Structure 1
């Protein structure tokens, strides 16, 4: 049996290599006389520079690796990543190319594993009118005007989380707990799945297995992470299908039923209506994006505040002033969040120095001229978030943590600060993440002081995460402030 399994693996790997080589040769472009290809090399067939990039990300030197390319080739260069000929672009103009436009030149391009796990109709895969329609449906719920009514619910989730996982403890691991918190918020506010239900417990289990294989090698063999991920993704599909049916029946009984993201998507009018398959795939996308991004940002803020006493003191003062204005048990409001200006600048500066998204890929739908070079149709375009963030011509002394940089956001050139993307392609969950981050930070800093247990190393997997989960020792800050 073992020899049969080994032979099957070899056949799958060999077949994959052949297909990739064929794809590379099919996409090979011989430039004409007018526009040259960018400088650089496609490297070894199939492998290209993929392993170099992944190793640099794991050792948290991904930006340095790209900076070396820029010094050698300039802001535009060709390479091969994950089996595809690729053009790496960098700078304000590059970011504008990626995040602006009508989608006729560049389209989102995800790896096969992402596409297979999250579904082919998620927002990262849709193009043109379909992308606009689905994005518009999601933004209608996630925009600031709609989120005002959910601040109280999010407040209650955070307070219950603090009571359950922080109070009475002497040491906690921040990142795992923040992932628990963000998933609880997603379940309650976005999906309307309340605490204590068996469905919620199953959803947590299946989701954890699902995300394990998103960035795995897409060979669907038994007992692999990718196989478990595909299986769990199908189980998540079944749960969301049941939720859709229940929300639809509820709306038929009562058009004024409580709203969550699924209910809002089900109840779109005919001009914006999206299919059940689109709802399912985009719910999985929201689960994945919302779970990782916010939890990482909150963790990084806690880490940086421990090393910035004056910044931490300013955040604590701002948040305690808000806490003192509230009566016992009273939840935060949208107006309270508007007073957290300095705290949000701290979060912005954290994301400048440690953007949660390293970068991404687009696919050239046609030949594109950029900076005097040709990006051929069918090639990948690779962009990185942190390079303009750490450009001293844009942000003086970029290595220094300075939240005052964001006192006047108009002074930051467009398409230079892009932790959530930019322009028409800004993340639709940006405002939701902002509320989530501010409410969590409010309760942590007003109820606890903390110290690092040890020096924390970070790696990218693919987000910046503390390798030990950020263990901290905690003590109650103010016993007179109750949850």
Structure 2
């Protein structure tokens, strides 16, 4: 039990009660129509229970117990805010497409990410920022990045996997994804600057869902300080690239920041300000750094005990490799042939979604399944509430990539597979993540076999899933490769 967190929360109770009373003053009482459940203690609510469940990897049970007790719509309090938990495909659709809801991160995440990030924008501002980011992620742009990703992956394997008997997967995958993102998003070459930024981002995620008490010994303070250092580093990078853009010395295709600096509207005005570019570069780094590294780590974890799937993947990648010259980089067309590998990735995402869930806020009084959700309340959606639903996925605890072989014939209703979210806010970096994953797995499965070093094959969630001890494995080189 995290007694320090409990103590900090209790200290904050007295000062926070008055704030909550001000926020709720004047609201018409509709208690009879509110969802079932309890808001718990002021400020604390059920926050500590959820955090404990995440850290012990019992969050699925924690959510299911609430669903079993109260149904698919229930009320609770998380991170100092009244919240409604919703579950099921219809609830997911409501979450992703309702104009009565806007994104709402916990207060800790809002402080860390800043007010200009896409995760908390809505309406015209959200469309403007998302449109700018998608300019960098267009298919014709992505095709140009395959060679860069290929080079980063090969270099990573030569430096960190070759001539090793054991490796620890999770930190290596984080290093790899950070290197890829640093090159393509920020145009950063290897060196002290990239290493410092990597160190800061290791700490940023620690406080994203923490109780937002800014004291020296809290995870929130460490995360806040790390995000400040990272923001200053990206501000310096943005200034340097801005000078190159204005001097005609930079190509719009070279990296994300240069691309965003180059975008103008019909009046010749820049689409994004420097502050917006920095804020959304941080979001892009967090999203791309952690989610893809988690996906690849858990694919490696699964393949260690699934020789049938691994053998099928090896065959798929050897077929691609035999038609290429020695040392020739992968292409966009090669990635399109890796259909089985992406099905394995999808099934991994179904069973271990990198993001536990997300919040929205009610912009007005709304009704869902006959229940009243007051304006200003949070709405929480979780991926596993549908991913592990036996009425949607037959034997949901069984790893079965064939579920995604012919999705048009699948019985799963819309908004059942949601590792990237859905609707207008679906993750814009899906294809980028797919590219990184496919290129990396191509070289790993062709060159290595592995087995788990730990007898216990467990993982925990400290916001994001992490396998025991970072997933140490014993590796051997494939003689055929």
Q: What TM-score results when the alignment is normalised by the length of structure 2? A: 0.92
**What's the offset of the Cα at 1:399?**
1.5
Tell me which residue corresponds to 2:34. Answer: 37
Contact 1:109 1:380 in 2 (8 A): yes
**What's the offset of the Cα at 1:354?**
1.0
Tell me which residue corresponds to 2:324. Answer: 326
Tell me which residue corresponds to 1:361. Answer: 359
Contact 2:212 2:220 in 1 (8 A): yes
Tell me which residue corresponds to 2:463. Answer: 462
Match of 1:118 among 113, 119, 124: 113
Contact 1:47 1:82 in 2 (8 A): yes
Distance 1:199 1:250 in 2: 19
Please give the residue correspondences for 1:231-270 in structure 2 after superposition, counting only pairs within 5 Å.
Answer: 231-254=225-248, 257=251, 258-270=253-265
Please give the residue correspondences for 1:9-408 in structure 2 after superposition, counting only pairs within 5 Å.
Answer: 14-15=11-12, 17-20=14-17, 22-23=19-20, 26-27=23-24, 31-32=29-30, 36-101=33-98, 104-196=99-191, 198-222=192-216, 224-254=218-248, 257=251, 258-270=253-265, 273-408=271-406
Structure 1 residues 340 and 20: alpha-carbon distance in aligned structure 2, compared to 1, 3 A threshold: farther
Contact 1:21 1:46 in 2 (8 A): no
Contact 1:367 1:377 in 2 (8 A): yes
Offset from partner CA, 1:102-141 (integer Å, 9 cap, x none): xx41111112221122211111111211111001100111
Contact 1:21 1:45 in 2 (8 A): no
Distance 2:146 2:246 in 1: 27
**What's the offset of the Cα at 1:22?**
3.4
Contact 1:123 1:131 in 2 (8 A): yes
**What's the offset of the Cα at 1:20?**
4.5
**What's the offset of the Cα at 1:59?**
1.7
Distance 1:224 1:404 in 2: 44
Distance 1:209 1:45 in 2: 28
What residue ranges of structure 1 are gaps of 5+ in the alignment?
1-8
Contact 1:212 1:226 in 2 (8 A): yes
Distance 1:15 1:296 in 2: 34
Distance 1:381 1:269 in 2: 35
**What's the offset of the Cα at 1:145?**
2.9
Distance 1:167 1:370 in 2: 55
Structure 1 residues 24 and 150: alpha-carbon distance in aligned structure 2, compared to 1, 3 A threshold: farther
Please give the residue correspondences for 1:391-430 in structure 2 after superposition, counting only pairs within 5 Å.
Answer: 391-410=389-408, 411=410, 412-430=412-430
RMSD after superposition: 2.1
Contact 1:356 1:419 in 2 (8 A): yes
Distance 2:364 2:398 in 1: 41
Pick which of 117-126 and 168-177 moved more.
117-126
3-state SS in 2 of match to 1:39: coil
Contact 2:305 2:451 in 1 (8 A): no
Distance 2:324 2:237 in 1: 36
Tell me which residue corresponds to 2:3. Answer: none
Contact 1:143 1:428 in 2 (8 A): no
Distance 1:95 1:60 in 2: 22
Offset from partner CA, 1:370-390 (integer Å, 9 cap, x none): 111111101110111111111
**What's the offset of the Cα at 1:253?**
3.0
Contact 2:13 2:43 in 1 (8 A): no
Contact 1:48 1:82 in 2 (8 A): yes
**What's the offset of the Cα at 1:26?**
3.5
Number of corresponding residues: 468
3-state SS in 2 of match to 1:44: coil
Distance 1:60 1:380 in 2: 23
3-state SS in 2 of match to 1:238: helix
Offset from partner CA, 1:273-314 (integer Å, 9 cap, x none): 011111111111111111110011100001111121111111
Contact 1:449 1:477 in 2 (8 A): yes
Tell me which residue corresponds to 1:437. Answer: 437
Offset from partner CA, 1:162-212 (integer Å, 9 cap, x none): 00010011011100110111101111111100123x322222233333333
